[in-house]
Amino acid sequence: MRTTRYACLAALLAIAPVSRVLAASSDDCSQGFGTRLAAAYREDAQPADPNAPAPERRAMPSPFPSPPFPSAEWQLGGVAYPIGVPNLNSQYPLEKAMACNALGKWMKDNRIEVYGWINPSVNISSSANTNYPLSYATRPNRVEFNQALLRIERIPDTVQTDHLDWGFHLDNLYGYDYHYTTMKGVFSNQLLNNPRASQPLNGNTYGYDPMLFYGDIYIPWVAEGMVVRIGRYLSLPDIEAQFSPNNYLVTHSVLYTADPYTQMGVMTTTRLNQQWTLQLGINGSNDTAVWNHSARPTLQACVRWVSADNNDMLYPCVNNWNTSDYNYNNVQMYVATWGHRFSEKVHILTEGYWMYGRNIAGFGPDGEPGVVGSSPYPGKAAEYGVVNYINVELSASDMMSFRNEWYNDQKGQRTGYATRYTTHTLGMTHWVSPDLEIRPEIRYERSYDVDAYDHGNKGYQLTALVDAIWHY
């Protein structure tokens, strides 16, 4: 047996000597794709050149280091980066490995990027049947495959001011998290038309969602620059995001779990000056394709202000406004986020919202809701809450976040239980390398007016989780 093992090892070394693999670079086109990909990961692990020139920038300096924080910029939806901020992403391993073929060269020449990540998690919970309203790790005491995402995009250059530029974005998401991201009318049959009583959420256990698809046009001559976005895009507010790498923690607040995720329509983002940005748009209401019968014309309006010293940010939004009654997730939403930076290493983010739906259907005689999102109590249903993040840099590759929230689902329209909630979550992110992050977390939560956990059997829940994000 030992002789056989040595023979196999010798044969492998003869085919691909380790010295040759280790000496290869990602741009060495004499090597195969796998060797170039391994070289790209190895190169990413090398320390960055401290003398490399900073990219040109037409905006305030980045307020935070990223990593370890998930973003280097103050929050602003509707754009890849705030206008005037350059594309801060270095070339990804997959792009480097592709650069030797014709497609890869063409994409590089045209500033088209392709990359993504894979995100599994594991959780241990005091609940036995469901962790909801904890998200996205809804199924308790198991390993979960949350996200595999492939992204293709072109980011418009908003630093320059002398010509029009354009961009586009396409996200392909597969995994358990599609339960939360699905838009009605966009591959939604796998979720909405496939109930499974044995699952905490309806639908196929794993599914596909073309999460985002939009085009951007950058017009430099409107004020200090305008980006017009057309397609399906993320809901503008929220400290948190659907995509794992964009979050401070593994799990989401109840505040975020229950609010709109994506819209489809037209959004304009206009920079008035370095401190003020204005956003106006129209869409087909929350999580609903414009071609679906549930769509309702809906207005959005947001403004973002950043203080002259870059230490404070205020971002109030009318995220959804129309005069229609409740339909599929057609809620009216008013939200504001405030951020304060104590230092480059410590900052806080606080978000609050008020949200409601008009003339919501009550449960039928068989206990089933009339429409998705119905309430046990018909009529107008409102919910409101506040969440705060305290974020601390521990080192260049480590950060810690402590999240506290209070939420009131007055009629149970968002969570299924008419009760008040509090949640307290402590977690950290450790960057093993620029392409691998590990995030352990512990969370305690409770409901106050009724037992809202584990299908109404408990008034509290304690959960420990850890996930990994591998970027490619």
For 119-155, write each residue's pLDDT tens digit: 999 999 999 999 999 999 999 999 999 999 999 999 9
Q: Are 386 and 378 in contact (CB under 8 A)?
A: no
Quote the pLDDT of residue 459: 97
Helix or strand (DSSP H, E) at 117: strand 113-125
Q: Which two tokens stand for residue 378?
A: 């018909």
* Distance in angstroms (rounded) separating the CA atoms of residues 85 and 89: 11
Residue whose tokens read 């190895």:
42
Quote the pLDDT of residue 18: 52
Quote the pLDDT of residue 90: 75
Residue whose tokens read 């429409």:
371
Quote the pLDDT of residue 1: 43
* Distance in angstroms (rounded) separating the CA atoms of residues 94 and 102: 14
Beta bridge partners of 168: 154, 215
Quote the pLDDT of residue 22: 61
Beta bridge partners of 288: 184
Quote the pLDDT of residue 14: 47
* Distance in angstroms (rounded) separating the CA atoms of residues 391 and 389: 6
Number of domains in the chain: 1
Other CB atoms within 10 Å distance of the CB of residue 269: 26
Domain-located, residue 123: yes
309 CA to centre of own chain: 28
Quote the pLDDT of residue 83: 98
Q: Are 203 and 265 in contact (CB under 8 A)?
A: no
Domain-located, residue 20: no
Domain-located, residue 82: no
- What is the domain-level CATH number for residue 312? 2.40.160.10
Residues lower than pLDDT 70 in the chain: 1-23, 194-201, 363-376
Q: Are 118 and 147 in contact (CB under 8 A)?
A: yes
* Residue type present at position 377: Y
Q: Which two tokens stand for residue 417?
A: 């239980």
Domain-located, residue 94: no
Domain-located, residue 108: no
* Distance in angstroms (rounded) separating the CA atoms of residues 380 and 143: 39
Q: Which two tokens stand for residue 12?
A: 């492998």
333 contacts: CB under 8 Å, gap ≥ 6: 259, 260, 286, 317, 318, 319, 320, 353, 354, 355
Domain-located, residue 196: yes
Domain-located, residue 301: yes
Q: Are 88 and 428 in contact (CB under 8 A)?
A: no
Range of the domain at 216: 113-471
* Distance in angstroms (rounded) separating the CA atoms of residues 193 and 188: 8
Residue whose tokens read 């080192």:
395
152 CA to centre of own chain: 16
Residue whose tokens read 């018909």:
378
Residue whose tokens read 């230490």:
311
Closest by CA to 398, choosing from 69, 136, 64, is 69
Asked if the bond preceding 67 is cis, omega within 30° of 0, the reply is yes
Helix or strand (DSSP H, E) at 391: strand 379-395
Closest by CA to 43, choosing from 30, 26, 56, 20, is 26
Task: Using DSSP, state whether 189 is helix, strand or coil.
Answer: helix
Other CB atoms within 10 Å distance of the CB of residue 48: 9
* Distance in angstroms (rounded) separating the CA atoms of residues 339 and 162: 33
Closest by CA to 71, choosing from 283, 306, 294, 246, is 246
Domain-located, residue 141: yes
Asked if the bond preceding 82 is cis, omega within 30° of 0, the reply is no
Strands 213-219 and 346-360: unpaired
pLDDT digits (tens, 9 = 90+) for 321-343: 999 999 999 999 999 999 999 99
Asked if the bond preceding 448 is cis, omega within 30° of 0, the reply is no
